[in-house]
Amino acid sequence: MEIKGLNDLLAQLRAASALTQGPAATPPGSAPKADFGSALKGALDRVNSVQARSAMLAQNYGMGAANVGIHDVAIASQKANIAFQGTVQVRNKLVAAYNEIMNMQI
The predicted pLDDT at position 14 comes to 73
Establish if 63 belongs to a structural domain: yes
How many whole angstroms from its chain centre is CA 20?
A: 24
Crossing angle of helices 36-62 and 3-21, in 10° steps, is 160
Residue 54 lies in domain: 33-106
The predicted pLDDT at position 1 comes to 44
Establish if 24 belongs to a structural domain: no
**Number of domains comprising the chain:** 1
How many whole angstroms from its chain centre is CA 42?
A: 7
Establish if 48 belongs to a structural domain: yes
Looking at the chain, the number of H-run helices and the number of E-run strands are: 3, 0
Q: Tens digit of pLDDT per residue, the chain (106 long)?
A: 456 666 776 677 677 666 666 555 555 556 666 788 888 898 999 999 999 999 999 999 999 988 999 999 999 999 999 999 999 999 999 999 999 999 998 7
